[in-house]
Amino acid sequence: MIEAIDIIKIFKLGETKVHALRKVSVKIDDGEMVAIVGPSGSGKSTLMSILGCLDVPTRGTYLIDGQQLDNLSSKQLAVIRRKKVGFVFQKFNLLSRTSALENVALPLYYSGANGKDRQKKAQEALEMVGLSHRIKSHPNQMSGGEQQRVAIARALINNPSIILADEPTGNLDSHTGEEIVGIFQRLNREKGQTVVYVTHDPFIARHTNRIIHLVDGKIINDMPVENPLDAGTPRPDDVLNSLWSPEESEVL
Amino acid sequence: MSAFMNFRIALRAISANKLRSGLTVLGIIIGVAAVVALMSVGQGATSGITSQVEGLGTNLITVSGARTFMPMRGGQSYSLMYKDYEAILEVIGEKARIAPYYQGNANVIYGEREADTSVTGVLSIYQDVNEYEIASGRFISDLDNLEAAKVAVLGATTAEDLFAGLNPLGRNIKVDGKDYSVIGILSEKGSSGFTSQDEMVLVPLETAYTRIFGGQAKSGGAYTISGMAISVINADDVDSIMSEIEYILRREHGLTLTDDMVFTISSQTQMLESLSDISGTLTVMLGAIAGISLLVGGIGIMNITLVSVRERTREIGLRKAVGATRGIILVQFLIETLTLSIFGGLLGVLIGGGIAGFVSSTGVLTASVTFDTIFISFLMAVLVGIIFGLYPAFQAAGLQPIEALRYE
């Protein structure tokens, strides 16, 4: 469970101060799947960084699993990230010239697992995202979707309390993007994994149970999704396209 | 996070860009190789000089006259006198062999050829004390001296210069226009660092006094000597004999204990010490000059590592996001520079040793590669790796994860 209370984040750009977050409070329970949406510059990425302990708020309180994170040193924050948080990025951020298995195992190096343990856990994580056949492949030998799946496996490896994904489908075509969302959905539904992702795609957002709408550093809407879409549901525009496809028109 | 893992990460980063890493290492290799080679040559020269000086005998004491002109005071002469030799002989004659000599300039010719050396008047004991060996003929005898015989013994080089391959024995050379019969040739002895021991014309001391130099060799009516070579029989006596000689010389010349000692009394050991001091300083200087190139190599490492940190900003951000602390990133980059410098250091030692070996094999100089040299230069390489790796490593470690991840 994570809880942010009255989070304020101010960036100083030279003389001017940018208020990225203005008193944001949000509580996400274990097992939730949440989408954070909003226009660019609305503060969603800043919120994600703070929730993931990559950045600290200017003011406000933040708790992960009941542990208050104010005034922690950068070293202590690194330990929290290691244990509690799994990150997935828009640009995958895999290490080049490094196999999928080793990429997935990377966080384990920092938590001090031994070689056998690393190997076993990384294999399991890759299986979970359906990549057990790509263990030895390097990032440049994999498609974008496969790379993002490796990144998800890496995020899973330390059994984090929460997976935070910043525009995880942003660099993928819509079909592959839906595959990725499908993996998140499966992890959430089958393992009860808490997942939070930022997206600007309303269709992708509709696959979650809750959508938080952020504008100008404030939450303007925080609503549960009545009927979350299941992964694999065709996009409305795809439905339209198929209706207007040439074969169909011939029949008509 | 074990050191071994960190080392593997470093190796991967280094091998990812082989050309660049290679060029970086090259800087260290050249630096270390230069240090090893130059210090080895320096040390080789040092031990060469010392062993040659040691070859002269460690029991040797030399006494020589005042180097600068000293005015007469109270009727006392500051030239070393023949009677000083007699006084010293009387006191320490049992414990040492003493060879006085008088050296002066005279014109030595054979036919058209002229020898470029001075003429030295000696006693028969001079051969013993200086450990000269006779190549052919014989040395000057006591009888030669008594008779003030017109005979000469030549150094190997001088004999070659004057006679150019002819057998000099029995032939006459002209010293200041008078005929002298060559009775002996010395074996080659080599140079003792500064002066060649093979260029000399030796005549009986009495001959030098009465026939060649005459009044020039006198001071206050008595004969002077240029110096004495003293070979102490028991090495333990060297120090006590040196003080006895000083005491006698002060007494003979009316010098009180507070007066400056105008004569030089030095032992071979002292000479050895000052020689090895000089060449030791030279060795350190050579090493320091070579060290500068090692420094430049270090700056190369720093430069490359800074570029590498910049290039891998996102990687660093990611590592921090998945739980790497500042310290881990710092150590990762330090290990990278250390690996480069250790690798460069090892290769540099090998190449430097090879250069030293090559120099020795040419015979121009003798280089001796010592463990100290290898250890010091290798240590310097490692230090360079740490020192020049620290700044880039701190840069990397200090990156904010969120900004590093956004870096394009």
**pLDDT given at position B75:** 46
Using CA atoms, how far residue B144 sits from B138, B151, B203, B242, in Å, is: 11, 8, 9, 30
Smallest CA–CA separation between B381 and chain A, in Å?
29
Give the pLDDT confidence of A40-53 residue by residue, as tens digits: 889 998 999 999 99
Domain identity same for B245 and B289? no
Domain identity same for B381 and B280? yes
**pLDDT given at position B1:** 55
At residue A185, does pLDDT exceed 80? yes
Complete DSSP assignment for A76-120: HHHHHHHHHEEEE-TT--PPTTS-HHHHHHHHHHHHT--HHHHHH
CB B399 within 8 A of CB B312: no
Give the pLDDT confidence of B302-316 residue by residue, as tens digits: 998 899 899 889 999
Domain identity same for B71 and B193? yes
Domain span holding position B220: 66-262
Q: Is the pTM of this model over 0.90?
A: no
CB of B214 within 8 Å of any CB in chain A?
Answer: no
Q: Would you place residue B274 in the very low, low, confident or very high pLDDT band (cuts 50, 70, 90)?
A: confident
Boundary of a domain, candidates B194, B229, B262? B262
Which residues of chain B from 309 to 338 reach within 8 Å of chain A, CB to CB?
314-315, 317-328
Name the DSSP class of B133: -
Domain-embedded: residue B59: no
Q: Token pair for residue B149? A: 């015989």
Domain count, chain B: 2
Sign of the alpha-carbon dihedral angle for B16, B20, B26, B28:
negative
Does the distance separating the beta carbons of A49 and B323 come in below 8 Å? Answer: no
Q: Token pair for residue A160? A: 């984090």
Give the pLDDT confidence of B210-225 residue by residue, as tens digits: 999 988 888 878 889 9
Domain-embedded: residue B122: yes
Domain identity same for B221 and B179? yes
* E-state strands within chain A: 2-13, 16-28, 33-37, 59-64, 67-68, 85-88, 162-166, 194-198, 210-215, 218-224
Measured torsion, CA atoms of residues A130, A136, A139, A141, in degrees rounded to the nearest 10:
-90
H/E element, B63: strand B60-64
Smallest CA–CA separation between A106 and chain B, in Å?
8
CB A200 within 8 A of CB A24: no
Smallest CA–CA separation between B329 and chain A, in Å?
11
Domain identity same for B390 and B370? yes
Domain-embedded: residue B396: yes
Q: Would you place residue A98 in the very low, low, confident or very high pLDDT band (cuts 50, 70, 90)?
A: confident
Does the distance separating the beta carbons of B5 and A109 come in below 8 Å? Answer: yes
Boundary of a domain, candidates B262, B292, B319? B262
**pLDDT given at position B193:** 47
Domain-embedded: residue B372: yes
The number of C-alpha atoms within 13 Å of B2 and in the hemisphere containing its C-beta is: 6
Q: Please tell me the distance from the alpha carbon of residue B322 to that of residue A161, in angstroms, as a whole number.
A: 14
Residue in chain A nearest B6 by alpha carbon? A109
Give the pLDDT confidence of B370-389 residue by residue, as tens digits: 898 899 999 999 999 999 99
Share of chain B above pLDDT 70, in %: 93
Give the pLDDT confidence of B45-91 residue by residue, as tens digits: 888 777 777 766 668 888 987 654 555 454 455 788 899 999 999 99
Boundary of a domain, candidates B237, B262, B287? B262
Domain-embedded: residue B356: yes
Domain A31-53+69-251: top CATH class: alpha beta
Domain-embedded: residue B58: no
At residue A173, does pLDDT exceed 80? yes
Domain identity same for B186 and B280? no
Q: What is the ipTM of this complex?
A: 0.89
Does the distance separating the beta carbons of A111 and B321 come in below 8 Å? Answer: no
CB B201 within 8 A of CB B117: yes
**What's chain B's average pLDDT?**
86
